[in-house]
A and B are shown apart, each in its own frame.
Chain A
Amino acid sequence: MFSLEAVKWINDQFKQTNELTEKTLEYEQKYMQLFYLKPLIDREMLQNSVIKPFFEMASENQFKLYLHALPQFQEATTKEQVMREIMNGSVVAVIQNEWYLLDFKLSTNDKVNNTSVETTIHGSQLALSDNLATNINVIRSYYHQPSLCVEYVVKGEVNQHKVAIIYDKEKVKNGVLDTIRERLQNVDKQVVSSTTQLNNFLNNKRLSLFPQMIMTERPDRIVYNIAGGKVILVVDGNPQAVATPAVFFDYMSTMEDNYHTLIISIFLKFLRYAGLMISILLPGLYVGVTSFSPEVFRTELALTIAGSRVGVPFSSFIEVLFMLFFMELLLEASIRLPKAISATATTVGGLILGTAVTEASLASNIMVIIVSAVAISTFVIPVNEMAFSIRVVRLLFIFVTTIFGLAGLTLGLYVLIMYLVNLDSFGEPYLQLYTSPKNRSKWERKT
């Protein structure tokens, strides 16, 4: 089926690059042509498992059978596939117009990383690697079920990245899987380079504030999510996976919750939700109390606030926005900066700026306390994506309070809850206290 034309076609495709190596081997009536991209393949492996046997084998037929038996062997069907495989690091062997695809990809990125985003004290310290095959290897070796399925899709017109869809066939909700497949079909981006990008491509919304897929780098979390009936997407070249459908509570839990004793994990959860509330409400509360209802707090506190605001030239919401703005800048800066400098940046920003601002009475002492409390409590939110959303929500709350006062702030909280409840993540309600018994029974029947 593959003729010389095909060989020529492939040669044409790679005309622009001079990296395509074409090798012809001929020895004792054995004839073979090899095509490969030199930088992509493992030359030693090629040498040991193809070239050496070629010269040692008695006949061409025996060699063909040998090639078939190689674990790296892959059936070639179309010339487009062959071209793609070459680009993926395969070697094409042509013997008597028969094509043999051999995967000799050389991967330099198959080392498993250490956890850097979701660090924990308990549990595994290893994360995923940048290599898709390694990742699937890791996942499979932690999840021993024959029902674990991996599907591959190639996305990105230009860079042609492999995307793996991983799920447990028996636990996954079919509707979710279909939606994901369908939406993946519709993704027509030129370059797909990150797993988290899929979050935007798949939720079919232009403006979305809350993430609908949960990003993770921890294999234990992935396994936990697969067992919970979620679908995992991994893009080649990315040390992160996304799990979906994700609901709000997923973003507020860490893997460590399962490793601690019950009381401790309840305590930690309480801390986390308290942190969430503080980081959303505190700046708004400050505006509401100082500017609309100063009689709410007890007298001593109200007087302290009033006293600390003496001489501050801005009104309270400008003051809050001003300080929050610098805090956000600081946060952004410390992410972008090299690790060595970021410590200095925090010191300069946090300590020096904070002190100087109060000395110059551009902001009240209490304001500095609030901003730092808010910053700290934002870090308590375990999943980074949610923390980003919360930072935006906080600003909205300040606006609402500026206009509607404390009642506005309270109502804003209720509206936020309502909004979250109204959101969907691939057909699942985003915020719901318990899964309703209806769903659960369906679920149990399935498992």
Chain B
Amino acid sequence: MLNKQIKNRLGFLLLLPLFILLSGCEFKDIDKDVFVAMIAIDQSDEADKPYKITLKLYEPSSSFKDAPQPTYSYLTQAGETLSEAIRLMEAYSDKELQFGHTKLIVIGEDLVQADKSKEILDFLLRRPDIQMIAWIAVGRPSAEKIIKMVPQGETSAYPELFNYFDHTGTESQYIVTTYLFNFRRDMKAWGIDPVLPIIRINEKDSHFEIDKSLIVRDSMEPHEFDPLNTSLYTMLTKGTDRADLAINEDDEYFIARIDRLKTKHSVTIKGGNKIELDIKIKLYGYISESKKNLDSKDLPFYNKLLKAESEEKFTKFFTDMKELGFDPLGFGLDYRSRTLHNRRMSKEEWEEAYRNAKINLSVTPQLKSTGSIQ
């Protein structure tokens, strides 16, 4: 026992010179690295180099507290493939590019329209240093423009754009948050289609506008959601807990603020290849704005209005989706999760059935109050 311990120690001693010999080999200090904040991928104008990548890099400054304005630098490079572009950029940069802190990937609208998301996805997933929890978004008009804009009042070290997507800052019903792993998962599976937020720049170039989104499917033209549909989508997918619904019917106009949502969707199989889509939505909330005086006694009436209005909106959303063949909520997936694999319809049969499906939608509104005033 004792003997062994002495030997163990001797072993350690022998290692010490080894340590000294080895040190300095792979040693690279943090100030020789440069962190990539965002990646923008666009279509380039050159025919032989179809991809154009722009990187937004953090410029380290000695004190972030004192720095009044955040400073970034940008690298842009076109390449035949994405990794070629990155490789060239590495040659032009004096510091090591670190992708480990990349939190946002913006893809130019042209590329998404050109159905290139698969190649891009492959590149992003293959690199081990890119986070799977990076957000992915579509840039309009181009991704490069989006990442190059620094809005006023941005603090350094945390670009304003991130605040839209992490749920610690704003929580808006118009913002779709899609992580890279979400995108990959839903892109590869059939029965659900991923939705990406569209980031636009306000005309006056002073701030971002994120209220639209894009539903993508392999080898299909992407479809754009207007703000209303985007908010319906986030409500249905529990992407948000808070939402406003405007009710404008029979000369009643008020806004219902929903602070709790419960949605359930499922597929009912009706023999043969006939299916029905069941959607049940429960809305809890209160009235936050109204054009005229409201009476608490009339809450059941307002509930009825809310029900009628929201059912109409949701039904329209689903009908549109059905007709276009998109499946943002994952009815196909739901179908798969309840039928044994050998009794399932094929993908084509399912798509056919989905197009002809009947929609049973019901909304249970639960307005609890008229707000602080009547």
Contacts and interface: CB of A to CB of B under 8 A. Distances in A.
Given A299-B103, A303-B60, A304-B64, 5 more contacts: A302-B30, A307-B64, A309-B31, A310-B62, A315-B29
19 contacts: A205-B5, A290-B29, A294-B33, A299-B158, A302-B30, A303-B157, A304-B157, A306-B30, A306-B31, A306-B60, A307-B60, A307-B64, A309-B30, A310-B31, A310-B61, A310-B62, A312-B31, A317-B27, A399-B23
Nearest to B18: A403
A422 B3 CA distance: 12
A424 B1 contact: yes
B6 A205 contact: yes
Nearest to B22: A403
B154 to A, nearest CB: 14
Contacts of B259: none
Given A205-B2, A310-B60, A291 B29 contact: yes
A294 B98 CA distance: 8
B297 interface: no
Nearest to A316: B29
With most chain A CB atoms within 10 A of its CB, the pick from B29, B30, B35, B58 is B30
Contacts of A299: 35, 37, 101, 103, 157-158
B30 A290 contact: yes
Q: Is the interface of A mostly helix, strand, loop or mixed?
A: helix
Interface string B1-20: 11001101100000010010
Contacts of A312: 31
Nearest to A305: B30
A423 interface: yes
Interface in A302-336: 302-312, 315-317
Contact of A422 (B5, B27, B33, B129): B5
A28 interface: no
Interface of B: 1-2, 5-6, 8-9, 16, 19, 22-23, 25-31, 33, 35, 37, 58, 60-64, 98, 100-101, 103, 129, 157-158
B157 A316 contact: no
Q: Is the interface of B mostly helix, strand, loop or mixed?
A: loop
The 4 closest A-B pairs by CB, nearest first: A295-B100, A290-B30, A306-B60, A307-B60
A311 B29 CA distance: 12
Contacts of B158: 299-300
A12 B19 CA distance: 62
A402 B20 CA distance: 9
A309 to B, nearest CB: 5
Given A306-B30, A307-B64, A403-B23, A295 B8 contact: no
Contact of B30 (A206, A316, A317, A419): A316
B135 to A, nearest CB: 13
Contacts of A400: 19
B5 A292 contact: no
A310 B66 CA distance: 14
A282 B200 CA distance: 43
B19 A399 contact: yes
A307 B61 contact: yes
B64 A402 contact: no
A291 B5 CA distance: 33
Contacts of A207: 6, 9
B63 to A, nearest CB: 7
Contacts of B29: 290-291, 309, 315-316
A204 B28 CA distance: 43
Contacts of B98: 294-295
Given A295-B98, A316-B30, A405-B26, A303 B58 contact: yes
Interface in A118-150: none
A77 B39 CA distance: 94
Nearest to B162: A299
Given A290-B30, A299-B157, A316-B29, A307 B101 contact: no
Contacts of B35: 294, 299, 302-303, 306
Nearest to B27: A291
A240 B371 CA distance: 73
Contacts of B28: 291-292
A307 B100 contact: no
A410 B19 CA distance: 17
Given A289-B30, A300-B157, A315-B29, A295 B63 contact: no
Nearest to A308: B62
A260 B66 CA distance: 46
Contacts of B33: 294, 306
A307 B62 contact: yes
Nearest to B61: A307
Nearest to A402: B23
A54 B232 CA distance: 115
B257 to A, nearest CB: 33
Contacts of B6: 205-207
B290 to A, nearest CB: 42
A303 B9 contact: no
A5 B33 CA distance: 89
A422 B6 CA distance: 12
Interface in A403-426: 403, 405, 419, 422-424
B22 A302 contact: no
Interface in A185-224: 204-207
Contacts of B37: 299
Contacts of A302: 30, 35, 101
B57 to A, nearest CB: 11
B62 A311 contact: yes
Contacts of B31: 306, 309-310, 312
B153 to A, nearest CB: 17
Interface in A248-272: none
Nearest to B37: A299
B5 A423 contact: yes
Contacts of A419: 8
A202 to B, nearest CB: 13
Contacts of A289: 30
Nearest to B28: A291
A292 B26 contact: yes
Contacts of A292: 26-28
Contacts of B60: 303, 306-307, 309-310
Contacts of A422: 5, 8
Contacts of A309: 29-31, 60
A379 to B, nearest CB: 27
B188 to A, nearest CB: 26
A402 B30 contact: no
Contacts of B9: 207
